[in-house]
Amino acid sequence: MNAYAVVNPLLEAIYYFKMKANGETQAQVLDRVLKKRITTAGEVTDFFEPAFELEKLLDEGIVLPERISEFFGYFKFTDGSDATSTCPAILVFLNSFRRSFTSLDEVKSAMLAQTDEQRLSGIMKELTTFNVSLNDFEPTLDGLLELLEQLPLTEESRWRIIKIYKHYNEYVCDICETVRPAVKLIADNSAVYSDVLRNFSRDYADITDILKYICGRFHIDFITGRGVVYPLIIGNGNFFTVADPADSEFMAYYVGVGVRPMMHVPYRERLSIDCDEILRTLADKNRMKIMQQLSAGKSYGQELADMLGLSPNTVSHHMNKLQKSGLTTSTLEGCKVYYKTNEEVVDEFIRRLAEKLKTKDEQ
């Protein structure tokens, strides 16, 4: 596998605007890392500093666009959460990330020259990232509508996606002009991130360890190991893949420069549970059914989907919620991610709930 220390300024600009549109900053990202991991700010400076510097340059050098929420705001799930942190700009330009960035005008021309099938494939590929096969849906408007019905998106989010498809060329042109100043600023200030990429081509020629980590951490059943690797600076904790349409097993991997270092930093012990969060999580009847099913033993995503009559993507969404609340754990066995009940958390939750509901005399 070849690794190239070449930053894609368009993708970096989209990550920047995506953060701003959704009320996030690099300081907040760092704060979350320090709260979750056993580390200090000094220990993560090497890969966080370039992101902080780029953010500062962009904050000072550009004006946030009026349509920032329309272009970069997250799509929403029906429970109010963010839908896999994707946004319209990613859907529109996904196909351009298969190869190295040349210029914004060349990307724009390539996107406008796409066939209708290519546009739909790009949009649908980004929406089928988590355990839903794109092969199940034809790259047609009917296929897109069928896919949207399988995803737990709000009606507003579904209509936003349909609008993107219907007015694709307008979105390409408008987003290109929106990000142009940021793209130029990022490209002109390569000195900010040159040090962190000094050995990237050598160190990331083999990312087998990262792929195994991603499979286990984010419940993805399988990721191929063929392709090219590029870095992410602003999205330093992110992992992003784009398949080649001519060879679905050949990927462009965008790896945040903080992913590998953080793989080896342990999480802090969970000292307490959030009963209110768990109650909200279990208020969804399908999540309760999943917990009941897992009480009989471990299971993997497709198996749960078949048993409960849900789509694999819906199961993946619910599992993310259950894992976030600590109710389940996962292990990678071969090419499958198996889930099981986290009995310690369940027992503690039941005990805490009993304390809340029983009178002192009953206790």
- Report d(CA 217, CA 330) in Å as an integer: 8
Residue 270 or 291, more confident: 291
CA atoms within 13 A on the CB side of 48: 18
List the single range of 23-32, 121-130, 228-237 with lowest mean pLDDT.
Answer: 121-130
- What's the pLDDT at 76? 84
Locate 313 and state its tokens.
Answer: 């993507």
pLDDT band at 231 (very low <50, low <70, confident <90, very high): very high
- Report how far apart the first and last C-alpha atoms of the chain are (Å, whole number): 61
Please state, in angstroms and rounded to a whole number, the distance separating the CA atoms of residues 21 and 259: 23
* Averaged pLDDT for residues 53-69: 96
Band (pLDDT 50/70/90 cuts) for residue 315 is confident
Q: What is the CATH number of domain 275-357?
A: 1.10.10.10
Contact 163, 141 (CB under 8 A): no
Q: pTM of the full predicted structure?
A: 0.75
Tokens standing for residue 252: 């462009």
CA–CA separation, 156 vs 171, rounded Å?
Answer: 18
338 backbone φψ class: left, alpha, beta (φ>0; ψ -120 to 50): beta
- Tokens (6 digits) for 98: 């298969």
pLDDT, one tens digit per residue, over 190-229 is 999 999 999 999 999 999 898 888 777 665 655 666 889 9
Angle (CA) 353 356 357, round 5°: 90
pLDDT digits (tens, 9 = 90+) for 159-177: 999 999 999 999 999 999 9
**Sheet containing 299-300: order of strands:** 299-300, 336-341, 328-333
Q: Cβ atoms within 10 A of the Cβ of 314, count?
A: 20
What kind and span of H or E run contains 338?
Answer: strand 336-341
* Calpha distance 235→215 (Å, rounded): 19
**How do the domains of the chain map onto residue ranges?**
6-189, 275-357
- 29-48 pLDDT, tens digit each: 888 888 778 888 888 888 89
Average of pLDDT values for 4-19? 96
pLDDT > 70? residue 359: no
**Rounded to an integer, what distance in angstroms lies between the CA atom of residue 11 and that of residue 77?**
24
Query: Per mean pLDDT, which range of 313-317, 346-350, 353-357, 359-363 is the poorest?
Result: 359-363
Phi (first) and psi of residue 73, to 5 degrees: -70, 140
CA–CA separation, 139 vs 197, rounded Å? 37
Q: List Cβ neighbours of 62 (8 Å cut-off, separation of 6 or more).
A: 181, 182, 185
Q: At what angle do helices 343-357 and 275-282 cross, to 10 degrees?
A: 100
Band the pLDDT of 244: cuts 50, 70, 90: confident
How far is C-alpha 151 from the geometric centre of its chain's CA atoms?
15
Q: What is the mean pLDDT of the chain?
A: 86
Structure tokens at 351: 């005990």
Other Cβ atoms within 10 Å of 179 Cβ, number: 26
CB 292 within 8 A of CB 273: no
> In this predicted structure, what is the pLDDT of residue 82?
52
